[in-house]
Structure 1
């Protein structure tokens, strides 16, 4: 029996995007939290906690985009045509926050507030744009003759705006729990206090999206609520509730790493719910991974490169996090 190349590539792309959400989510979350922290020393500590790793985290976004082009060119052309503006805004936000990240360390006291605001705004724009794109992807795209047939602003709907706001909350939780793990003293205490309402807000956002999606899409409702699927998929929402409760408990018990790890679990469960709702479509609502796949020769050739590159990315990522493990203290870090 031959290898199902479209399925294997779908797993690779899903893995790459999940790694991006996990790893770039918390440093975007730090930018989202910036306006709520006024002290310069605390802001420096927040940025220093991600300074050694933040730019490497975006490797996974580049990998996901390149893999989509190589393995599913139809999906690449349709999705990028449909989401041209939010993707452009996302990239602009990522570039702007990257520039601000570097310049705030090198600017004098007169210009530092400007770069602090730029870092925050870049984080907000990039995150909101990602969330809007996610909402538009869930809603699906109009395709005719294997090309995008919708309008320039079809991505802008109440649902996509809500998912944009929801992703801001999700990344804020990752950023806050990351700082609980990486900092100490007053800043850590403040992040524990911030994490509690953000956790509850994220749970509410997940519940709303989980109800809104099947209400708006009959095929998603059939996927979740028909038998025996209901019994198979029921553990996902149950685990979401349990993970939320566990985050709140660990925040009250002065745990360091546990809140962050549980926040990652909560986002993974949300990602799993999304996969269950849309599988096997890579262009919702009706084009599957097999319909959108590149020729087998292309997928096999590029797979060799992917299987070579991905372990290298994982290795240097793990090494960088290992080298820069431990707490970040005031006055230490990036210069």
Structure 2
């Protein structure tokens, strides 16, 4: 297989793992306003306390891979999406600081709750805005970004920002269903289905809106050869949604989270199929944007070492802290 394609796969994997793993703990912050009880909020945060900061490793991996292997994409995307990415980082900082300080605060705890809510929701929203702006295309001239500072601020980008926030909220809700019990879990079971409906609505609108604004994607989706390949995706989403309804009605614990991951994976696969083979939609292909083959091979050796280590310690962290989290557990986050 072409080394450029291998690297595109590694970066795509890193971004997907980030969306899944950091997505559900950002989703917990988005859900915080619906659960005002302080003890329940403590419990919700304790479900991700041992793993939340390690989840962001995948974002670093994706960014570093992009810088090393697709430097044109890295420089163009950072120039075009400078403001939403800075806003996202500021929100992640607020989220991280509030996570650390909230557990030790007394009088100021409500303020840090607000910081956690705002940081989580803001980071999710601006990640989605960046995704939407990337999908709608980045104007380029002579291999450089040729737009203005607010080129990213469009109705489509704002809509995808809200859609990603809804995605994270569903992931967070289903994660909490798997990690909690009793009355809190019952209320989360009731909340998960409306969130699923909202997410399916966002997926449907984005699936229609994306090809309407980009003729290359429209040609890809409705070309006869590709249509049959892409047709199973919406059908599988419908199957996952029906299974989600049954799992929530049956008060299953882990199945809703697995099905939420399935829906997210199908949506992500649809995006990748729409973008292929472009590194920047309608402007640069993967091969046009790639670094020299020697650079790709050199960094691939490093990735072959680092990637199994990241997968290993991530898996170990989740295995060690598997099972339900209760108020009387000794491993509270302090």
Instruction: Quickly name the TM-score band, shorter chain normalised.
Output: over 0.9
Q: Where does structure 2 lack aligned partners over 5 or more consecutive residues?
A: none
Q: Secondary structure at the match of 2:279?
A: strand
Cα distance, 1:331 vs structure 2: 3.6
Q: Which residue of 1 aligns with 2:62?
A: 64
Contact 2:140 2:283 in 1 (8 A): no
CA distance in 2, matches of 1:84, 1:180: 36
1:88 aligns with 2:104: no
Residues 230-250 of structure 1 show CA distances to partners (whole Å, capped at 9, x for unaligned) of 111100011111111111110
Of 306, 318, 321, the match for 1:321? 318
Matches within 5 A, 1:6-17: 6-17=4-15
Q: Is the 8 A contact 1:49 1:328 kept in 2?
A: yes
Matching residue of 2:275: 278
Using the size of structure 2 for normalisation, the TM-score is 0.98
TM-score by length of 1: 0.98
The answer for unaligned runs of 5 or more in structure 1 is none
Aligned to 2:122: 125
For 2:95, the equivalent position in structure 1 comes to 97
Which structure 2 residues correspond to residues 127-276 of structure 1 after superposition, within 5 A?
127-276=124-273
Contact 1:179/1:188, CA 8 A, preserved across alignment? yes
Q: In structure 2, the residue corresponding to 1:119 is in which secondary structure?
A: helix
> Is 2:71 the partner of 1:73?
yes
Deviation per CA, 1:140-163: give whole Å up to 9, x if none: 101111111111101010000000
RMSD over equivalenced CA pairs, Å: 0.8
Once the 2 structures are TM-superposed, how far is the Cα of residue 81 of structure 1 from its aligned partner?
0.5
Which string of whole-angstrom CA distances, capped at 9 and with x for unpartnered residues, describes residues 103-156 of structure 1?
Answer: 000111x11000011000000110000000000010010111111111110101
- CA deviation vs aligned residue, 1:201-239 (integer Å, no higher than 9, x gap): 000100000001111111111111121211111000111
> Matches of 1:331 and 1:155 in 2, distance apart?
47
2: CA distance between counterparts of 1:305 and 1:226?
39
Counting matched residue pairs gives: 332
Q: Is 1:22 paired with 2:20?
A: yes
CA distance in 2, matches of 1:112, 1:59: 28
Give 2:306's aligned residue. 309
Structure-1 separation of matches of 2:223 and 2:89: 40
User: Within 1, Cα distance between the matches of 2:223 and 2:128?
Assistant: 28
d(CA) in 1 for partners of 2:3 and 2:74?
Answer: 17
Alignment correspondent of 2:284: 287
**Which 4+ runs in 1 deviate beyond 4 A?**
none
Quick one: distance in 2 between partners of 1:196 and 1:302? Answer: 43
Give, in whole Å, the separation in 2 of the partners of 1:318 and 1:200: 30
Q: CA deviation at 1:12?
A: 0.4
In 1, the alpha carbon distance for the partners of 2:229 and 2:274 equals 13
